[in-house]
Amino acid sequence: MEQIARIIEEKIRPLLQAHQGDLELVSVTDDGFVKVKLTGACAACPGQQQTLSEVVDAEIRAVCPEIRGVIPVYQVSDDLINQALHILRRDKRDV
């Protein structure tokens, strides 16, 4: 995991930050996959799959060929979940 974190810090993060984006290393699985979360502008970018495959996956696998792939993790903020629950609960009361 340290080696993956170093690759992200030195090679990947500067590229993403140049476009107001970033990347968070979530975990490295026992079966050889790296889980990451795109943040900033990268999180909503229509080219995020291309970024994951051509930048993140390529850079990591160039140094760590034992890695089988990169898996994006999509997480919704607690604030957004609470807003959605509020809307859903309000709509049910109005019925």
Nearest to 23 by CA among 91, 46, 4: 4
Domains defined along the chain, listed by start: 2-94 (3.30.300.130)
Per-residue pLDDT of the chain (95 residues; tens, 9 = 90+): 899 999 999 999 999 999 999 999 999 999 999 999 999 898 888 999 999 999 999 999 999 999 999 999 987 767 777 888 888 888 565 55
State how far the Cα of 57 lies from the Cα of 76, in Å rounded to an integer.
23
Overall pTM > 0.85 = no
